[in-house]
Each structure stands twice: as C-alpha cells, then as structure tokens.
Amino acid sequence: MDKSPGLLHRLEGRMRIVAACCLFGMALLTGADVAMRGFFNTPIFGCEEIVSILGVIAVAFALPYTHFQKSHIGVEILVRRFAKKTRDRIKLVTNTATFILVALVSWRMFLYAHTLGASGEVSMNLELPEYYVVYVLAVGFSVYAVCLFMDVIKFFKGSEA
C-alpha cells in the first residue's frame, strides 16, 4: 500500500503534462485558426472539433492534479468555523460521496464509450471516432476516483493531514 501514493503521484504528474500540452495545443491551434482566417480568409478545417477534443482531455487529465493541490472549489465560510474533528468528518463524507459519484460516472462512461464504438459514431467534420475521447475522459475520471478513494483510506489510517 505504501507504493500506491507514489505510483498515483507519478501518474498524476504525467497526466498533468498531457493536460498542459493539450492546453498549449488548444491555444496554438486557435491562434493559427484566427490568423488563417484573418490573413488568408481560410479557416483550419475541423479546428473546432480538435480544440474541443483537446479541451476534454485537458479537463479529464487535470482533475487528479487539481485534487492533489486541493484546488477544488469549496464552501468554507461556514465549515472553517467548526472544530477540526467536525471538519475532518465533513471532508470524509464529501470525499466518500464524491468518490461514489465519480466512480459511477466513470463506469457509465466506459459503457457509453463501448456503445459508441460498437455503433461506429464519428465526429461531424473530421469523422474521428468519438469513443476514444469518451474512453480518455473515463480514464481521467477513474484516476480521480482512485485519488478520492486514497484520501478516504488515509482518513481511516489516521494519516490525513
């Protein structure tokens, strides 16, 4: 069990790099599309599809990093006034409920991706198979669910900071 957080952190680091590259690619492609429209009056064909796919990958792969940085939005105006024990219990309930929801969503995304693959669904302009994007999103959500589950385990081990 001691190697899991290390492995999870390494995976999160690689996913963060992929998310950053996707974000950079989105900016580069959007800038190139605007320049092509301005200078040559010709847009990049399928730019919107590629940018939206890169956006999905960026969001999916940034979730674990955001969780490790504790950057998710939280309502703390009321909660920070409670005692530490009460705050920890609220955090446990929140992490457990979020884990269940994210794991359920991830499982359903895998099933949906399989259905899309079986039906042969493709994107409108470039005719890219859409099920790959849904699989990538499901993987991102799965890693996020594992991060949440590890936090629940840390709580019961008493090593939660």
Helix or strand or coil: residue 121? coil
Q: What is the pLDDT of residue 29?
A: 95
Q: Are 46 and 17 in contact (CB under 8 A)?
A: no
The arithmetic mean of pLDDT across residues 58-75, rounded, is: 83
pLDDT tens sequence across 143-156:
999 999 998 998 88
Whether the CA torsion 136, 142, 144, 147 is positive or negative: it is negative
Question: In this model, does residue 57 exceed pLDDT 80?
Answer: yes
pLDDT over 70 percentage in the chain: 93
pLDDT tens sequence across 78-113:
777 888 888 888 889 989 999 999 999 999 999 999
Q: What is the pLDDT of residue 1?
A: 43
Q: Is 63 left (phi over 0), alpha (psi -120 to 50) or beta?
A: alpha
Q: What is the pLDDT of residue 67?
A: 85
The arithmetic mean of pLDDT across residues 40-65, rounded, is: 92
The CA distance from 27 to 160, in Å, is: 38
Question: In this model, does residue 71 exceed pLDDT 80?
Answer: no
Whether the CA torsion 90, 91, 94, 99 is positive or negative: it is negative
What tokens were used for 79? 């909660």
